[in-house]
Amino acid sequence: MTPPLARLAGLLADGTRARFCLALLDGRAWTASELARHAGVAVSTASEHLSKLVAAGLLAEEHQGRHRYVRLATPRVAELIEDMAGYAGPPPPVRSLRAATATEAMARARTCYDHLAGQLGVRITDAMVTRGYLVTGSGFALTDSGLAWLSSLGVVLPNAGRRPLVRACLDWTERRPHLAGAAGAALCRRLHEQGWLVRIGSQRAVRVTPAGEEALRDELGIYD
C-alpha cells in the first residue's frame, strides 16, 4: 500500500498542479479557465488536475451559477504549500522584462495566502520583535504589549481555534521568517481595510500606499 505521504508528494510533484497551488496562495477563488491560462494548459487538462486536488482535500470547490471556483481548502493547506515553497527555494531566473518586473514586485511585498510576505512582511516582523511585540525564542509568540498594539490598530483577533495565533513562515524570497497564523492574517486584513495596502494586478503582489508608509513609519519605524 502506498503511504499517504507518498500520495501527497505525488500530487504536488506534478508541475501543473504545483503551479495551481502556488497561484491559489493569493487567498482567492479561481476558475478552471483562469488557472489554465495561468499554467498554460488546456481547460480540460486543468479540470482533470483540479479534480485530483479536490479529491485529495487540498482544494475546495465553490459553485456560483454556472461557474465552478476552487480555492485552497483550509489555512493549514496554505501553510503546507508555503512551507514547501520556502524549503524548495526561489523560482528559476526569469527571461523577460515583464516577468522580472512582476518578480521584483512579489519580492517587495505580497500576500502569502492571507498574511504578508516578501521584504515588507519580514520588515514588519522584525520591527515587531524590536519593539517587544513579538518574541521568537522557541517559535513565535505575541507579548502582552503586542496584543495591545494590535488592538490599538483595530486588529480583531479570532477566538481560540485550531489555527495557531502566530507562527513563523519561511519567506522563499527573503529566506527568513515572516509572521503568519491567525494574527498575521488579521493584521494583513486590517492594513487592507485601512487603505494602507493595495493589490497590484491579478497576482499576489501588493504595494504600500502613501498613507500606509506614513502609518508604518509612525507605528513601526518602517520607511524612516
Q: What pLDDT band is residue 52 in, cutting at 50, 70 and 90?
A: very high
Is the same domain home to 146 and 40?
no
- The phi, psi pair for 201, rounded to 5°, reads 65, -150
Residue 84 lies in a domain: no
What is the count of structural domains for the chain? 2
| Average pLDDT of the residues of the chain | 86
Question: Can you give the pLDDT at residue 58?
Answer: 93
Q: What's the CATH code of the domain at 40?
A: 1.10.10.10
Residues in the chain: 224
Q: pLDDT digit string (tens) for 141-177?
A: 999 999 999 999 999 998 767 788 999 988 878 888 8
CA distance 25 to 84: 12
Name the pLDDT band for 192 (thresholds 50, 70, 90).
Answer: very high
pTM for the predicted model, two decimal places:
0.74
Instruction: State which of 20, 44, 73 marks the end of a domain.
Output: 73
Give backbone dihedrals phi and psi of 60, rounded to 5 degrees, phi first.
-120, 145
Instruction: Specify the pLDDT at position 67.
Output: 79
Predicted pLDDT at 188: 94
Domain extent for 40: 4-73
Mean pLDDT over residues 102-127, rounded?
87
112 and 23 within one domain = no
Q: What would the pLDDT profile of 203-217 be if each residue is shown by its tens digit?
A: 688 999 999 999 999
pLDDT tens-digit series, residues 55-93: 999 999 988 777 789 999 988 888 888 778 777 766 666
- Are residues 59 and 128 part of one domain? no
Residue 22 lies in a domain: yes
Instruction: Enter the DSSP assignment of 109.
Output: S
**What pLDDT shows up at residue 91?**
61
Residue with cell string 491567525: 182
Query: In three state form, how does the secondary structure of 26-71 look?
Result: HCCCEEHHHHHHHHCCCHHHHHHHHHHHHHCCCEEEEEECCEEEEE
Q: Are 196 and 211 in contact (CB under 8 A)?
A: yes
